[in-house]
Structure 1
Amino acid sequence: MTVVTTELLRRFDVPGPRYTSYPTADRFVEAFGEEEYVLALQQRRVGSVGKAMPLSLYVHIPFCQSLCYYCACNKIITRHPERAEVYLRYLSREIDLHTAHCGVGQQVSQLHFGGGTPTFLSDEGLRELMAMLKRSFTLVPGGEYSIEVDPRTVDESRLALLAELGFNRLSFGVQDFDPEVQKAVHRVQPAEQVFSLIESSRRLGFESVNVDLIYGLPRQTPESFERTLGQVSELRPDRIALYAYAHLPERFKAQRRIITAELPMASAKLSMLAQALEVFEGAGYVYVGMDHFALPQDSLAVAKRQGRLHRNFQGYSTQPDCDLIGLGVSAIGRIGATYSQNVKTLDEYYDAINQGRLPIARGLALTKDDLVRRSVIMALMCQGEVLFEPMEAAWLIDFRSYFEPELQQLEEMAGQGLVKLADDGVQVTELGWYFVRGVAMAFDKYLQANRNRARFSRII
């Protein structure tokens, strides 16, 4: 087992991107709008890539029945289910606007419902949404079809419906099992409820069940979090996503309800992370990278062993790198060498679609330098190494001269045992996997000015 010291954790406790994309979403500009996005869709339709490469779909369901104080997602708190019915009608129209440009029946190998709370939708609403998607796209066998689940909104019969609709992966938002922590963040859900739901998920045959945890929440202590870690180990989900809570009340209004004095000290937070690494690896989990753990037989762990790991806006994936269509308010997409994001409010979203427009608010057309750096960062994040010769052949660059300052920056990390620098490439060490965001940051030209770093959560 790799020993990760609290001293090393403290050294890398700095803000940084999660690199679900490069450049990151804070670089998107309003100069990229619907016209540029439509052109990218049309180019995909006529190009050979569009015919051969399956799509990924992301659908954002913004509604929640109650507010979780830690939440930084784009959400709408409501007790009125009819609001979702209206939203589904507009989603259907947005899908039609897409297929008018990219064609009906394009193959999809990855689908993810996020939020908000996707399971806010009624059974009828979930059926309606899946029917819309299947009318317009072809969901291929063997794909990853996942949905985020609030345990408070489902029972075994609803899980059975999700299986019937074609979902094969579930992600349960747990965050912490301690009752006091749950009260402090306004998300009370008994551990027994989660245990029962995951047992039902296994009986129903879901291929993979993920549990989300957060450390650094109010009223959490190393002792209380150790109990949660023990319960999660007993629960034994296929995957675990362990996130650091980023307290940014100036940006996220919900977090203003958290009592700052109840947040754990930085030293306690680092202790919780060190505990988690020790407990999960001791329980047999593979550290996939970037907060993700998986059982050895899970497809994510297998993909890492075989060098087939990929990364997109939903995090790590076993699916090959592919274009992504984002549907719904605030959804982010990627088509070819472009990124795009929808408007963030329902009023703007409905208004755009009523005008017959795709609701693009901003985006980015990537430069060659962006593409080169993206390939390097994703190689580090997914394969843990960058080989110079393939990069030089693909991008017609001399790697050592192109990235001379970046390689000099990595020399300090090499001295810390995080990377190995060789004549033919850069390799992330076993220890370095725990700090791979920090390694990738060396190649991010937008972070060279320190003022940009404050926009991100801390990497530990």
Structure 2
Amino acid sequence: MADLLHARREPFVRHDQGVLDPNCHADTRKFHGGIGSLDVLRALRVSRQKCRPLSLNVQLPAGFRSDPHFQCLLREIDLLGCHLGAGQRVEQFHLGGGTPQAQPLQRLMAHLRNRFNFLGHECGDYSVDVDLHHTDWAMMGLLRDQGFNHVSIGVPDIGTDGERSATCYQNPAPIHSLIDAARTFGYRSVNVDLGYGHAWQTPHSFALKLAAIIELEPDRVQVFDYAQPPPRYRHGHHAADACSEDAKGAMRRISFEQLLAAGYQPIGLGQFVRPDDDLAIAQERGRLRRTCHGFTRHGYCDHVGFGPGAISQFDELYAQNTEDPEHYLQQLHSGQLAICRGWRCEAGDQVRQLVMERLACDLELDIRAIESRYGLIFRQYFAAAWQCLQQMSEDGLVELSERFISILPAGRLEVDAICRVFEQDVNPPGHSSSQELIDHDACL
């Protein structure tokens, strides 16, 4: 079978630590087996009734086989798609996991377009992850012809292959070639993913690699800790020896220093963009959002995931497919969805998530708006977090007032750590956990 994929005073918080999950809006540690297919089917019905826009995410793990696995993926698309309406626009689409071969790619996209309402030329954000070693100019052109307008290039891990791999890691030519192809074919943006924290890395080698990437002038750079990789790198990701925490912190500081010096803006969660990028403009206009698949310039969408390990989100419901390809295959063969776990985000968690999202996206939070919407007293509800914020205020990271929490210029490098203070559970005396849920069809 052919593979589809080619294969100062120290602040209160340790600011060299990122959030738990650099790209996921939900805390997957809370996922449990009590969420199943019936919950998703009910959510799909509500989504159709309200005609909400959609964000689709297809995950193709390395080694995914064309038969029968590919047929099961198409079957899952049909099982979910038949419960959604033709009027629901696909505003966002992401194809992750690596570069598919040409024929399966064309079949997959034709199947998706027959089932879903994709937007016209350049109206949606349609992105794809490409494998550096199995993508050439012809494939970049084909992907563009299929409607993709954003591309993400992963810097390969050295692994255990010795000097040859180390040379490959430092060689910028393959990345340069794909960036040139993306420019030629008119992609809206090019992102480069760069991990740090492996034992084979040093601050010096990391700085050299990052400097070489900056010279290529990608539109976006995603810097992530190998211990907390983005979801698109978790399938087939093998644990490796980590460097020291001091070295890891140095690499993270180097990324901020070099990228800021080159004119990139830190959006948060390790994402840096050029000032004219869609995400930077959305943040400046107060329209940036953070979803279960990262930052976006679009408003609320229902997120539908396909493939092993894919996550879907409908309002407060999160549902995840099994990550085991064989179990995924068995479920779809029997005509069942592959949902294995999930989480229903209750009111307290939704308030906390909204606070973290607005701080990460707007660099400012309107305290009174939160209090008015949920009938709470912010400083009491987030008493422990407020103490941490006061410490950060003394460190010059945030400014606190009766009305706003504002992240200062020095704090822009620490957005992740600032958001972390709201991650702890909150359940103040006398405040019911059955407070009003967030209405995603209304704006705060």
Tell me the TM-score normalised to structure 1 length: 0.83
Give the CA deviation at 1:85: 4.2
Give matches, 1:250-329, under 5 Å. Answer: 255-256=238-239, 258=240, 260=241, 263-329=242-308
- Separation in 2, partners of 1:182, 1:254: 21
Tell me if 1:380 matches 2:359: yes
State the AA in 1 paired with 2:137: E
2:224 match: secondary structure: strand
- Separation in 1, partners of 2:168, 2:102: 23
Tell me if 1:40 matches 2:39: no
Q: Tell me: CA distance 1:333–1:386, structure 2 relative to 1, closer, same or farther (3 Å).
A: same
**Corresponding residue of 2:138:** 157
State the AA in 2 paired with 1:230: A
- Separation in 2, partners of 1:87, 1:189: 35
Give the CA deviation at 1:175: 5.1
Determine which of 222, 244, 255 is the counterpart of 1:241: 222
Q: Tell me: CA distance 1:231–1:7, structure 2 relative to 1, closer, same or farther (3 Å).
A: farther
- Separation in 2, partners of 1:247, 1:326: 20
State the AA in 2 paired with 1:169: H
Determine which of 171, 174, 178 is the counterpart of 1:193: 174
**Corresponding residue of 1:458:** none
**Corresponding residue of 1:67:** none
CA deviations 1:336-355 (Å, max 9, x no partner) are 22000011112211221222
Determine which of 20, 24, 28 is the counterpart of 1:25: 28
Give the CA deviation at 1:165: 0.2
Tell me if 1:427 matches 2:406: yes
- Separation in 1, partners of 2:160, 2:208: 11
Give the CA deviation at 1:177: 9.4
CA contact (8 A) 2:129 2:153 kept: yes
Give the CA deviation at 1:19: 6.2
1:101 match: secondary structure: coil
Identity of aligned residues (%): 33
CA contact (8 A) 1:175 1:212 kept: no
State the AA in 1 paired with 2:392: M
CA deviations 1:212-231 (Å, max 9, x no partner) are 11122232222222221221
Give matches, 1:143-222, under 5 Å. Answer: 143-174=124-155, 190-222=171-203
CA contact (8 A) 1:169 1:206 kept: yes
- Separation in 2, partners of 1:156, 1:350: 33
Q: How many residues were matched structurally?
A: 414
Q: Tell me: CA distance 1:342–1:179, structure 2 relative to 1, closer, same or farther (3 Å).
A: closer
CA deviations 1:144-171 (Å, max 9, x no partner) are 1000011111110110000000000000
CA contact (8 A) 1:168 1:208 kept: yes
- Separation in 2, partners of 1:180, 1:228: 18
**Corresponding residue of 1:225:** 206
More divergent stretch after superposition (13-22 vs 286-295): 13-22
2:77 match: secondary structure: helix
2:155 match: secondary structure: strand
- Separation in 2, partners of 1:9, 1:241: 26
**Corresponding residue of 1:437:** 416
Q: Tell me: CA distance 1:56–1:186, structure 2 relative to 1, closer, same or farther (3 Å).
A: farther
Q: Tell me: CA distance 1:185–1:246, structure 2 relative to 1, closer, same or farther (3 Å).
A: farther
CA contact (8 A) 1:330 1:343 kept: yes
CA RMSD for the aligned pairs? Answer: 2.9
State the AA in 2 paired with 1:29: H
State the AA in 2 paired with 1:110: Q
CA deviations 1:314-361 (Å, max 9, x no partner) are 222212232100101110010122000011112211221222221110
Tell me if 1:356 matches 2:355: no
CA contact (8 A) 1:171 1:209 kept: yes
1:63 match: secondary structure: coil
CA contact (8 A) 1:241 1:291 kept: yes
- Separation in 2, partners of 1:113, 1:238: 19
State the AA in 2 paired with 1:86: P
Give the CA deviation at 1:267: 2.5
- Separation in 1, partners of 2:425, 2:18: 13
2:153 match: secondary structure: strand
Give the CA deviation at 1:284: 1.4
Larger RCO (alpha carbons 8 Å, 6+ apart): 1
1:431 match: secondary structure: helix
1:443 match: secondary structure: coil
Give 5+ residue unaligned stretches, structure 2: 1-7, 428-444
1:102 match: secondary structure: coil
State the AA in 1 paired with 2:44: L
Q: Tell me: CA distance 1:389–1:236, structure 2 relative to 1, closer, same or farther (3 Å).
A: same
Determine which of 48, 70, 88 is the counterpart of 1:106: 88
